Amino acid sequence: MTDGADDVLDLLGLTEYEVTALTELLTLGRTTAPNLAEATGIPKARIYGVLDALSDRGFIEVIPGRPKEYQPKAPEAILDRAVDNRRQEYEQFQATLDDRREAFLSEYRPRYERASEDIRPAEELFHVVDVGEPSERETRRLYDEATEQICVLTKSFEYFESVEAAFEDALERGIDVSILFLHPKHLDEHNRAIQAEIVEHVTATYPELGVRFSTEKLPWRGTLTDPSMDYETGTAILLVEELDVPLHMRQAAITENGSFVAGLKRYFDLVWEYESVVEYPSTE
């Protein structure tokens, strides 16, 4: 593909597997999921979720039958649908914000005005980056700069491939790494399949890892490095669960506030000790 075509596919907000599947469908035309999995190398456990995601975006058609077949929309139709999808997301966001605008202003304008009467400089607690490549780049930086410990709290670690080189380097430097996954009973079928594949890979490839599964839902996820109970060290990147916010609109917070990182580590330790299991759990 040309550089221009690659750039357009990046703008569609697709995962690597989704880009691969859509590209191959545009080449093959109408085909079945098993045939597409074989042609692309996408794991069979993932291919149906990938195709469902492309169908939900309106980029492909599902042809009923036994077996079902999948057919790509015309390239022009794919681009037009991508624009419509983004427009609908924005319009929904704008409508929701407009509905709550007056309540928000009534509540917070007086607070802001009172606080603004005597503004004092304050140390910045957080700065934010977009979720995706910017947040993955910051996560790699945390791995690179860690000197003692890394704690990962994650849903399915779906971004692992993009940070694995830095992750592996940290292990080779002797960094103590612990991963707390969300219990698969809290995941949908698509994310459960992703998690199972990642768990199998990391436990087989890096047996020295500490891995557990949180039995309760997690209000945030992210990575923290080198926490200390004297509040002098520690860095963290985290994001909270926002199911109604599209992934491309989410942001991750980064902090180097030692006391805040210590609090995150205390939460991690409590879940690790009292609300998690060691073995890969059944979803039943």
3-state helix, strand, coil split of the chain in percent (to 5) is 55, 20, 30
Q: What is the distance between the alpha carbons of residues 276 and 211, in angstroms, rounded to a whole number? A: 10
Give the pLDDT confidence of 204-230 residue by residue, as tens digits: 999 999 999 999 988 889 999 999 988
132 and 259 belong to one structural domain: yes
* Torsion, Cα of 132, 174, 165, 240 (10° steps): -10
Examine the domain organization and report whether 101 and 184 are in the same domain. no
Tally of domains in the chain: 2
Q: Note whether residue 116 is domain-resident.
A: no
Same domain, 190 and 225: yes
User: Does the pLDDT at position 252 exceed 50?
Assistant: yes
C-alpha–C-alpha distance, residues 103 and 248, integer Å: 27
Quote the pTM value: 0.55
Domain that holds residue 39: 1-107
118, two tokens: 């005597």
Assess whether 144 and 15 both reside in one domain.
Answer: no
Q: What is the pLDDT of residues 93-151, one digit of tens each?
A: 999 999 999 999 999 999 888 877 765 544 568 888 998 899 999 999 999 999 999 99
Residues 145 and 76 in one domain: no
pLDDT at 9: 78
The answer to which of 60-64, 116-120, 188-192 has the lowest mean pLDDT is 116-120
